[in-house]
Amino acid sequence: MLPAALAEELNRIESIVAAHPSGIGITAIEAEIARRHGDKPNRRTLQRRLQKLIESQRITTEGESIALVYKLISGGVVPASASLTLAATATAEAELYVPVSPEGAAIRDRVRLPLMHRRPAGYQREFLEDYQPGTTFYLPESLRRQLHEMGRTSANERPAGTYARDILGRLLVDLSWASSRLEGNTYSRLDTQNLIEFGQVAKGKDVIETQMILNHKAAIEMLIEDADEVGFDAFTFKNLHAVLSQDLMRDPQASGRLRRRPVDISGTVFHPLALPQVIEDCFTMLLAKAAAIPDPFEQAFFLMVQLPYLQPFEDVNKRVSRIGANIPLFKRNLCPLSFIDVPEHAYIEGTLGVYELNRIALLRDVFVWAYERSCQRYLAIAQTMVEPDPLKIKYREALIQAVQAIVKGLRQPSPAVIAEVARDHAAETDQAAFREMLSAALQQLHEGGIARYRLRRSEYIAWQHAHAQV
């Protein structure tokens, strides 16, 4: 017999699940518990409670990964409290969602139907072919103007990637955490910050979750470091996939390569393309159309719609689309899209609307809300930032090369060595300032920040070891 406290806790969880006949995700369950009792439950504990309900055949699951939802088993007894909490739960869920248009709401209702009531759908190539850059627009002109107003920064006349570099520390943490969370990653933002800034792995976390965060960090840095060169081309997106999927693919050879086998997506009636040649043709067409789109926000949203729909890679497609959607924003020095606070259910259901119905309104609602949220965060942060040092901008690449010269050369950061390296990388009039920048960069160098200097972990460790022996 279960202890009374545990039995009561299980009944509370079951009543929340029962109030959602189409299923409810663990994040929404957490939020409803927090709303009722004022304290967010521990994710691991909640997972164990849900597993106990599954084992006792009181609830079941449907879907996988971020599409996983919990449902009352058909024919089961609904707790008496369920009918009383239905309205309150619906209100809480609405609070966790984004504001939706009438068309978006209709899509949401369609994709919430049980799978047996949703019509199976295959990939519709004409959905991509019919899109004509500069003529077709997923985002109306008035909405594009609104997004430009929201996203404009003081760096709009400076070199590509300048604004993203100005807020790099915060962006790495926010985007890595928020995008990973949409994949079911349980790292908190603080855990993510400690991992990225100090290389500190959170206790009790799966190694896959840690790798996912680190892959996001490396991918974001790659796009910002090479903002002038990256674009909507196969080289960029295959490499972006390779970085985001590193050590996460069942077949390591599939990292950075287009899909050569069929895949199934759980929790949906959508069936992606299976023929490799058709996948490659559509991938080429998709990137060509994206590159020809004149508006950066239309480019970003087009990618979020079309790339996951095509599923060109065996896995990690949505991550590629979310990080890749920032390319035109980085290049134009617009406020980035971090996906901070985006509700999982809203993002999943918006994506399902594209998969199953080829309808974009719900995902567009999510995109616009997410971008406004990002702008509010980063433009507020920018107001408190110190104006960047022009010398740091001027010598940014030279500083990277100077740090590499010392670390890869296993040289000690003595004043003499720093002065020698500075002479090779800065004009005579800037020598003193460059020496100070180089000295500070070497003093602040740690394992969580070596990627910005394009260093390998092995190179950094070898330099540390050589440095310690002196």
Eight-state DSSP code of residue 133:
B
**318 in a known ligand binding site:** yes
**315 in a known ligand binding site:** yes
**317 in a known ligand binding site:** yes
Q: At what angle do helices 317-324 and 207-225 cross, to 10 degrees?
A: 30
Spell out the alpha helix ranges (H) of 185-231.
Answer: 189-198, 207-225
Bridge partners of residue 195, in order along the sequence: none
**458 in a known ligand binding site:** no
Q: DSSP per residue over 46-76, as a string?
A: HHHHHHHHHHTTSEEEES-GGG-EEEEPTTP
**320 in a known ligand binding site:** yes
> Are the C-beta atoms of residues 289 and 302 closer than 8 Å to each other?
yes
φ/ψ (deg, to 5) at 69: -130, 155
Measure the CA–CA gap between 30 and 301, rounded to whole angstroms: 30
> Are the C-beta atoms of residues 403 and 453 closer than 8 Å to each other?
yes
Measure the CA–CA gap between 321 and 313, rounded to whole angstroms: 11
**319 in a known ligand binding site:** yes
**119 in a known ligand binding site:** no
Q: Which amino acid type is present at position 255?
A: S
**43 in a known ligand binding site:** no
Q: DSSP per residue over 405-453, as a string?
A: HHHHTT----HHHHHHHHHHHS-GGGHHHHHHHHHHHHHH--GGGGGGG
Which residue positions form the known binding site? Answer: 315-322
List, as residue ranges, the binding site for ATP: 315-322
